[in-house]
A and B are shown apart, each in its own frame.
Chain A
Amino acid sequence: MEIPYTVEIRRDTGLTNGKIGIWLFLASEVMLFGALFASYILIRTGSASWPRGDTILDVPLATFNTIVLISSSVTMVMAWASLMRRRFGTFRIYMGATILLGFTFLVVKYFEYSHHLHLGEFPRTSNFLAIYYTLTGLHMLHVMGGMAVNAYFWGPGAKQWKTNPEWFTNRVEHSGLFWHFVDLVWIFLFPTLYLL
């Protein structure tokens, strides 16, 4: 049985089912990260003293990671634009670059975490480190999830381009929406944790 409204627009919503589905999912993600941000505000405003992020964390490394993630958002949207122009080869290059940039982000994060753990700075050490590991850890899981989906569309999932290019393009757009959301969360995490 064919899945309805993957390419054709529903008359009642004016959208494909995939598009409304990913936005509803992102709305739930906003609440997930929102709950953690609220916890951060509560813990910080309720504490007698709070360290500045740049006295504990590596700002240049995090700035580099911010640049990496923003770049990956551009390559992601360019991958989608390539499909819209029916240039599958270019899509592969941009999508490959997005995955590599995501991988670079994770490698940098690995070095950052191992440095702190080596110094004996664990989540139990302080409230600041607890919220730092929780927020960045959850964000990192999202990066991994996004990379897995992107890798699928770069690899085995790309076969769909030959049979149903419109659907494939929509799926890449939805995957991109998630990836941009991950970038958006980092845009707020970076100043909150590292600079303030």
Chain B
Amino acid sequence: MTTDHAGSVTSDHAADIDRHVRIYITVFVALMVLTIVTVAISRFHLPVHIAVTIALLVAVIKGSLVACYFMHLISEKKLIYAVLALTVAFFIALLTLPVLTVHDGYWMR
């Protein structure tokens, strides 16, 4: 979302911003609730693989809310999506490759 050239705020524009502000507050409440959920789940002392899965799932939901609404990714231009798609591909490779080297016993040779 980029500022337009208008020098004054039209009523449509103001209503649009008001709608955005309501979304920001809703997202804020959701993030607070999910933070409490994250901490509460950790108190159950679940097996590591289940705890990791749940914690990362909640973190992904929280991160998506921040990215989509606070960073306006939900209504961005195609070029930004293209840049991020490339970033995500490299990010996944970056996280996966070390794990694969552990599982195939590379460090034990």
Interfacial residues, chain A to chain B (CB-CB below 8 A): 7-9, 13-16, 19-20, 23-24, 27, 30-31, 34-35, 37-39, 41-42, 45-46, 54, 59, 63, 66-67, 70-71, 73-74, 76-78, 81, 83-86, 165-166, 169-170, 173, 176-177, 180-181, 183-184, 187-188, 190-192, 195-196
Q: Is B84 an interface residue (CB 8 A)?
A: yes
Q: List 11 A-B contacts (CB under 8 A).
A: A15-B2, A31-B94, A34-B95, A38-B95, A39-B98, A42-B102, A66-B35, A173-B2, A177-B71, A180-B71, A184-B63
B91 adjacent to A59 (CB under 8 Å)? no
Q: Which of A14, A35, A74 has the most CB of B within 10 A?
A: A74
A187-B59, A196-B52 are known contacts. Are A30 and B35 too (CB-CB below 8 A)?
A: no
A15-B2, A70-B31 are known contacts. Are A184 and B83 too (CB-CB below 8 A)?
A: no
Alpha-carbon separation in the docked complex, A111 to B3 (Å): 40
Alpha-carbon separation in the docked complex, A170 to B1 (Å): 9
Q: Chain A: which residue is nearest B88 at the CB level?
A: A30
Query: Which size class do B's interface residues fall under?
Result: 35 or more
Instruction: Give the residue of A27, A184, A188, A195 whose beta carbon is less than 8 angstroms from that of B84.
Output: A27
Instruction: Give the residue of B1, B51, B94 whose beta carbon is less than 8 angstroms from that of A173.
Output: B1
1/0 per residue B18-37: CB within 8 Å of A? 00110011011001100100
B38 adjacent to A191 (CB under 8 Å)? yes
A180-B70, A184-B63 are known contacts. Are A23 and B9 too (CB-CB below 8 A)?
A: no
Contacts of B71 in A (CB 8 A): 176-177, 180-181
A34-B94, A180-B71, A187-B63 are known contacts. Are A16 and B2 too (CB-CB below 8 A)?
A: yes
Contacts of B21 in A (CB 8 A): 78, 81
Alpha-carbon separation in the docked complex, A19 to B14 (Å): 23
1/0 per residue B58-78: CB within 8 Å of A? 110011001100110000011
B48 adjacent to A74 (CB under 8 Å)? no
Using A7-B5, A42-B102, A196-B52 as known contacts, list a sample of 6 further A-B pairs with CB atoms less than 8 Å apart, ordered by residue number in A. Answer: A46-B107, A74-B28, A78-B21, A169-B3, A187-B63, A196-B51
Contacts of A8 in B (CB 8 A): 5
Alpha-carbon separation in the docked complex, A86 to B9 (Å): 7
Alpha-carbon separation in the docked complex, A37 to B90 (Å): 13
B25 adjacent to A74 (CB under 8 Å)? yes
Instruction: Give the residue of B32, B84, B99 whose beta carbon is less than 8 angstroms from that of A23.
Output: B84
